[in-house]
C-alpha cells in the first residue's frame, strides 16, 4: 500500500497459497509515489512472511513467519489456526487489537493477545468426560451473541461415602444437593448486572438463557460481560462473553 492516512492493519494472517506465482506474501505500508509519508497509521499484531513500513507508520508486535508448519495447526490443508507451539501465541499487544478473532473467540485467551487472525484457545479434546463427573462452567453459546445466549454448567455426583464419614461432611450430601448455586452476570467494572441462578441444585448438567437484560429487565449495552458460577464452598469459576448489537 502506498501512503496510509489513519490506516489500521491489525491482527491479519498473510500466507502463501502455494499456487500463485508472485512469491512470498507481505504486508507493506510505504510512502506515496510523490514521496509524501503516511500519517497516523499502524501495523500491529500481524503474522506474515514480511512486514515493511515507512516513515509515519507505527509497527508493533508483528511476527515474521519462518517455516509455515511451525506456526499453524495444519498449513497443508490451510487450517491457519495456531498450533500449540506456535511462536505467534502471546506475541501480540492489546493496543488496537479487536476483542474477538476471526472465529469469534474472545481475545486474549492467555496472558497476551496472539499475533494473526486466530486466537489460540487450546486443543480439541477427542476424549470427552461426562459433564456430571466434574464441576464445570461451559463457554456460553453463541459467543459473541445478540440478543441472547445460553450458559451450561455441571454439578458432579459426589463419590460414595466411606464408613464412618460424618454426616456434616460435604460428601455426605450424596447424590442430591451439593450446596447453594449462584450464577451471576457482571460488567467490566465488576458491577452485578443480573442473577440467573440462586438456589440449591442436585447433581447434573443445566442450561440457562440470558437475554441481555439486567435485574430490572432493561436491555444492557453492547460490550464485554463476565458470568460467574459459585457452587457452595466447593467451586467458583468465571468466564467472559461478548454482547454485540
Task: Lowest mean pLDDT of 16-25, 81-90, 122-131, name the range.
Answer: 122-131
Termini Cα distance of the chain: 32
Domains for the chain: give ranges and CATH numbers: 1-124 (no CATH), 131-243 (2.60.40.4070)
C-alpha cell at 180: 447453594
User: Among 14-18, 74-78, 117-121, which range has the highest average pLDDT?
Assistant: 117-121
Encode pLDDT of 131-155 as tens digits.
456 788 999 988 888 889 999 998 8
d(CA 232, CA 202): 12
Q: What is the 3-state secondary structure (H, E, C) of the chain?
A: CECCECCEEECCECCCCCCCCCCCCCEEEECCCCCCCCECEEEECCEECCEEECCCEEEECCEECCCHHHCEEEHHHCEEEECCCCCCCCCCCCCCCCCECCCCCECCCCCCCCCCCCCCCCCCCCCCCCHHHCCEECCCECCCECCCEEEEEEECCCCCCCCCCCCCCHHHHCCCEEEEEEEEEEECCCCEEEEEEEEEEECEEEEEEECCECCCCCECCCEEEEEEEEECCCEEEEEEEEECC
Q: What is the pLDDT of residue 3?
A: 66
**Cβ within 8 Å of residue 172, ≥6 positions away:** 161, 165, 166
Whose CA is closest to 42, among 53, 58, 64? Answer: 58
Whose CA is closest to 142, among 106, 95, 178, 90? Answer: 106
Q: What is the pLDDT of residue 157?
A: 74
Q: What is the pLDDT of residue 23?
A: 65
How would you classify the pairing of strands 177-187 and 192-202? Answer: antiparallel
Q: What is the pLDDT of residue 163?
A: 43
Encode pLDDT of 30-88 as tens digits.
777 777 877 888 999 999 998 988 888 899 999 999 888 999 988 888 889 899 899 99
pTM over 0.75: no
Radius of gyration of the chain (CA): 24
Whose CA is closest to 234, among 184, 193, 173, 185? Answer: 173
Q: What is the pLDDT of residue 104?
A: 82
Encode pLDDT of 162-220 as tens digits.
444 444 334 334 434 557 899 999 999 999 999 999 998 888 888 999 999 999 999 99
C-alpha cell at 154: 455441571
Amino acid at each position: 500500500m502506498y501512503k496510509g492516512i489513519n490506516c489500521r492493519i491489525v491482527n491479519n494472517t498473510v500466507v502463501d497459497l502455494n499456487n500463485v506465482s508472485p512469491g512470498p506474501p507481505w504486508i507493506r505500508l510505504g510512502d506515496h509515489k510523490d514521496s509524501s509519508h503516511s500519517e497516523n497509521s499502524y501495523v500491529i499484531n500481524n503474522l506474515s512472511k514480511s512486514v515493511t513500513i515507512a516513515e509515519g507508520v507505527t509497527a508493533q508486535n508483528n511476527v515474521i513467519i519462518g517455516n509455515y508448519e511451525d506456526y499453524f495447526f495444519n498449513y497443508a490443508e490451510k487450517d491457519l489456526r495456531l498450533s500449540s507451539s506456535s511462536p505467534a501465541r502471546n506475541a501480540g499487544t492489546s493496543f488496537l487489537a479487536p476483542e474477538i478473532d476471526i472465529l469469534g473467540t474472545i481475545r486474549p485467551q492467555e496472558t497476551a493477545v496472539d499475533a494473526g487472525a486466530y486466537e489460540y484457545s487450546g486443543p480439541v479434546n477427542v476424549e470427552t468426560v461426562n459433564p456430571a463427573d466434574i464441576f464445570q462452567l461451559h463457554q456460553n453459546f453463541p459467543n459473541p451473541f445478540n440478543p441472547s445466549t445460553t450458559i451450561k454448567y455441571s454439578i458432579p455426583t459426589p463419590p460414595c461415602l466411606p464408613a464412618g464419614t460424618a454426616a456434616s461432611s460435604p460428601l455426605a450430601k450424596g447424590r442430591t444437593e451439593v450446596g447453594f448455586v449462584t450464577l451471576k452476570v457482571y460488567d467490566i467494572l465488576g458491577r452485578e448486572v443480573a442473577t440467573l441462578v440462586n438456589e440449591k441444585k442436585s447433581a447434573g448438567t443445566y442450561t440457562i438463557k440470558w437475554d441481555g437484560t439486567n435485574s430490572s429487565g432493561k436491555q444492557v449495552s453492547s460490550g464485554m460481560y463476565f458470568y460467574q458460577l459459585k457452587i457452595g464452598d466447593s467451586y467458583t469459576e468465571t468466564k467472559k462473553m461478548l454482547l454485540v448489537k
